[in-house]
Structure 1
Amino acid sequence: MLSLLVLSGLASVGVAAVNVSIPLSPPENSQPLSPTLVSFSLEQDRWPDWVGIDSRNDFTHHALVRLASLTGVPTKIRVGANSEDHTFWSPTVTVNEDEFPPADTITPYPEATKITVGDKYYTLSRWLPRGTHMTWGVNLGADNATNAANMAASIVKAFKSAVVKASGVVLDYIEIGNEADLYKNNGLRPKNWTVEEYVQDWISIAGPVAEAAGIQDTRGAVSLQGAAFAGQGFTPREIFALGILDSTPGKAISIISQHQYSAAFCNGGDFPLTSFMNKTYVRGNLTHFIPDIAAATEQGFPYILGETNSIACHGAPGVSNTAGAALWTIDYTLQAATLGIAELFFHEGIGFKYNFIQPIALNRSTIDGSPLDPPQPPHVQPLFYGGLVLNTLVGRIGHSRIVELDVGDDNVSGYAAYERGRVVRAVFVNLHAWLASTAGERPSVHIDLGFARGTGAAEDAFWSGGREARARRLVVEHADDVANLTWAGRSFERSSDVSPTGSKDEERIVLSQGLDLRSTEAVLLVF
């Protein structure tokens, strides 16, 4: 799925130069930049490991609070995914009982094939940071309306309980079924199952779910999340045309979700990191959603990637777990935002290669399943640094806007963020892969900055007082490194509570002189 591309000559030169113009006020094509742009999707089977049972998982909590401190808002959490359609509620189970297939070298941490849960399972939501908003998935794959309704009733019961209400954690949506367009491939429906049959099937299950949850339309505190398809197998445009929104439960849909991965590692394979870190490839994996974004917007729905990450089936070694993937995360997420995608829910599991964090100790390798003795303690992975950069760009105001900058280099992406009508931050990402095996001098791109002035007072004030900017760098030794990144001079890998170690390092950039950006590096400017 990934093709090796020849990158633009930088390996043989020391410094290339580009001119970049930054509008001082948001252009007409700017898009809202949500404070929960970076959110998380969690597998249902090991949800208790993520948050804790009788007490909270402190590592998860510290990591989520660290990200929230940059935007003032906790990341949203969706619990569901593949194990969503293998979950059954039981009145005799307290928390959960899981049945797992054997691990292997390709999938060292497989999802459970059956999860049986009780009421306490959903009340564990209280261990998330205060103010977290959640989406919970219920089982459509089993085609069992009673089970789906029981799950929904238990979810709503949990969020009405005193302990969850006191925690400040909020339920926004119930999702009915995960990636139903793949059911005909995974045995949950016949091989000839169609989108027309999906719509009728969804309505037959969603009706009892909505009734059990007390959901009548979109005006209540909780509504339904629609679609949740695996890319383009089925599309929102198709189900809208088939009348899903005119059905009784369809009137309770208030948001549209689709899923996206850039490749798949389900059967193994060799994925070159150098091709993954590529502007053209990133954009090609997102632009095919534009018609669905438009269709959702026309209906008045926010559009999200309710599950996404680098390479499906838990990620590929040497790609998903690397520093290069952290840079990919920045470009991928911001490119999605410029297309009108409100939030991206990066998928996480226990022991998945593409995790932002590993929330519990691991006793076998995520790469090949070999035993780890001693176990590897909870830790952040490279993508967490991408989240730090992204949330810093988003900021704390809650209603910033974003625009992509025209950068005349095949490897360098740029974006600007706006608050109260003026530019406040910009980020540049150099996706040229500097590998541990690369010989020669590490190349750089020199970015000469210009500013497109308007006539507003705020713009003139910026121009007269904004001759310098503060710069924070995401520094990476090699794109294929799996650790030892720093953000603004600090590491987040060396503490048990995700607190930074090292001295904060900010540069002062004279705007008229521009800045240098090395291969496999990102820089964020604060004006």
Structure 2
Amino acid sequence: MRWLLISKIILSSGYVLLAQTTTTFVVPSAAPSSAVTVDPSLLSVSIEFFAFPGYTELSGTTTCLANIEKLRGAPPAFRIGGTTQDRATFDANLAQPVNYTVASPADAPTTLTYGPSFFTLAGQLAGDVTIGLNRQLNNLNNTRAGAEEAVQCVTGLLALELGNEPDLYSSSSPIAGGASWTPATDGASQKSWFTDLSSSVGDIFQGAVYLQYPRWSIAGLIPILGDAIAFVKTFSGHSYPQSACGGASTNLSNLMSHSGIVSYTSQYAAEAEAAHGVGKSYFLGETNSATCGGGGISPTFGAGLWVMDYVLQGALAGVDRLYFHQGTIGNCAYCFWSTSSVAAPYYGAYFVSEFLGPSSPARLVMLDSGSTSLGVYAVFSGINSAAPRILLYNSAYYSGSGTRSSANIVLSGLGSNLSSVQAKRFTAPSAPALSGQGVTIGGGTFDSSCALAGTQATESVRVSQGTASIGVQDSEAVIVYLS
């Protein structure tokens, strides 16, 4: 039920908030049949292959991920891979984890070697670990040596990924032998490599790893694999809603649009269904806001709001885990953390993890239509339990100038026993704001090591006859705690 309410609220700062629309949502008393079960490691992390050892030396890597683990009750999973996995050669005699030369620390190497200590570091990670190995160079025996070392050293090894985005291989790729590289060619290659290597390492492969959906798809790969599907542990797709490659332009308003996110993630429902249909998990094994590091939009508060909404929509589309890629240290606009800072997108990762909470299993449902700028979600601790938390998202873009409107969201069906509820606000002065420019969760922030700084405060919201009204500004989100 919706009705229009025009009102002006004058803040002490002098800004005018115009509450344009009041929208009512009924909170179910228990999880509806449409609610989806959420993996405890739904929000996970991908790290570029060559940069992985460097990430293990950053305090943010440990602290940022420990924060998420505390909120969810399980650690984020790791995927170690990316473009440079297909440039890497295993050297059993190499003392250091990786060896390469670059003209600038901001560059990624065009060729590199890695040794056994690379896997020693990977073995120290908490949670599931997926490791990407080289297929493009067509050196099966070298990849076998690396795979065998990984199986021996990495206690938490979930899967081995052979090749990164093979849909981008060309006739000049060594594995192609001068011929065109097509979905059929690649499917036959995956089948052959999985079959050959399984005798050494077991049935532990992550299949697909495609970026260009739908021409390259899991649904198309499965029939080609045939009996080799038995060697596959998981399937993965890669996903970037926008591109910053080759001077391409990005758009923050489009990125953070709730209806846009709903539409974009819906394409993965068929992929998830195909993977689940053969008993395999489906991951977005590498994802973030925009390719080639993300350009100007990726470190912003608006991108943090996108992370929050994108994770939830991914789950509703059937994606079991989303692995947010972390690239070259010090040259990565979309990275959650770096050597001495924590970026705004991490705030979104933290906020959505707090919303989902440690419930096992957490069950998620979207209460809005998916066709407007407002997103409303409820999370349930079980089938018959009441929702302990509601998330409200106003994705209307606010640039930081002019009037900042506010949506008045009414929640009904809260029960007659409640007189008030608490709310925590994820906010900033504008969507383009960066961390350090007023991006806060309940007024709190993160310091350079990713430790919580300041106190995260909640607001008390009055409940009358089972109904509460919460104002959510444009480019803002709020968690409402019902218990």
TM-score scaled by length of structure 2:
0.89
The residue that corresponds to 1:7 in the other structure is none
CA distance in 1, matches of 2:365, 2:82: 31
Q: Which among 445, 458, 482 is matched to residue 491 of structure 1?
A: 445
Instruction: Answer whether contact 1:84 1:178 (CA < 8 A) is retained.
Output: yes
Aligned CA distance change for structure 1 residues 397 and 84 (closer, same or farther; 3 Å): same
Q: How does 1:60-459 map to 2 (within 5 A)?
A: 60-99=61-100, 102=103, 109-128=106-125, 131-159=126-154, 170-184=156-170, 187=173, 189=176, 190=178, 192-213=180-201, 215=202, 217=203, 223-232=204-213, 233-242=215-224, 244-247=225-228, 250-317=229-296, 319-349=297-327, 350=329, 351-358=331-338, 360=339, 378-406=340-368, 410-420=372-382, 421=384, 422-436=386-400, 438-439=401-402, 441-451=403-413
CA distance in 1, matches of 2:375, 2:172: 38
CA distance in 2, matches of 1:274, 1:408: 16
Q: Which amino acid aligns with 1:384?
A: Y
The residue that corresponds to 2:29 in the other structure is 24
CA distance in 1, matches of 2:280, 2:317: 15
Deviation per residue, 1:120-154 (Å, 9 max, x gap): 111012443xx421111111111111111011011
Deviation per residue, 1:227-268 (Å, 9 max, x gap): 1111414111111122x1412xx3121221111101211212
> Is 2:473 aligned against 1:521?
no
Q: Which amino acid aligns with 1:356?
A: F
Q: How does 1:2-41 map to 2 (within 5 A)?
A: 13-41=18-46
CA distance in 2, matches of 1:133, 1:45: 19
CA distance in 1, matches of 2:442, 2:302: 17
Deviation per residue, 1:395-448 (Å, 9 max, x gap): 112211001112587211111101122211111111112113x22x21100001
> How far apart are residue 285 of structure 1 and its match?
1.9
Instruction: Answer whether contact 2:256 2:302 (CA < 8 A) is retained.
Output: yes
Q: Which amino acid aligns with 1:338?
A: L
Instruction: Answer whether contact 1:100 1:110 (CA < 8 A) is retained.
Output: no
Q: Which amino acid aligns with 1:509?
A: V
Pairs aligned (count): 456
| SS state at 2:432 partner | coil
Identical-pair percentage: 25
Deviation per residue, 1:164-215 (Å, 9 max, x gap): x5xxxx11111111111111288453562111211221223223432222x1
CA distance in 2, matches of 1:332, 1:84: 26
> How far apart are residue 280 of structure 1 and its match?
2.9
Instruction: Answer whether contact 2:98 2:118 (CA < 8 A) is retained.
Output: no
| SS state at 2:247 partner | coil
The residue that corresponds to 1:372 in the other structure is none
Q: Which among 494, 509, 513 is matched to residue 461 of structure 2?
A: 509
Q: Which amino acid aligns with 2:118?
A: Y
CA distance in 2, matches of 1:266, 1:410: 30
Q: Which amino acid aligns with 2:333?
A: K
CA distance in 1, matches of 2:124, 2:455: 31
Instruction: Answer whether contact 1:18 1:409 (CA < 8 A) is retained.
Output: no
CA distance in 1, matches of 2:217, 2:471: 43
CA distance in 2, matches of 1:387, 1:380: 11
Instruction: Answer whether contact 2:268 2:319 (CA < 8 A) is retained.
Output: no
CA distance in 2, matches of 1:173, 1:97: 21
CA distance in 2, matches of 1:408, 1:386: 20
Q: Which amino acid aligns with 2:336?
A: F
Alpha-carbon RMSD:
2.2
Instruction: Answer whether contact 2:195 2:231 (CA < 8 A) is retained.
Output: no
| SS state at 1:274 partner | helix
Instruction: Answer whether contact 2:34 2:365 (CA < 8 A) is retained.
Output: yes
Q: Which amino acid aligns with 1:526?
A: Y
Q: Which amino acid aligns with 2:424?
A: R
Deviation per residue, 1:343-402 (Å, 9 max, x gap): 1000111221001111x2xxxxxxxxxxxxxxxxx2110011111111111211221100
Instruction: Answer whether contact 1:41 1:77 (CA < 8 A) is retained.
Output: yes
TM-score scaled by length of structure 1:
0.82
CA distance in 2, matches of 1:156, 1:413: 42
CA distance in 2, matches of 1:289, 1:395: 24
Structure 1 unaligned runs (5+)? 1-9, 160-164, 218-222, 361-377, 452-461
Q: How does 1:37-52 map to 2 (within 5 A)?
A: 37-52=42-57
Moved more, 116-125 or 293-302: 293-302
| SS state at 1:463 partner | coil
Deviation per residue, 1:269-319 (Å, 9 max, x gap): 3323222221232123211222221111211222111111100111111x1
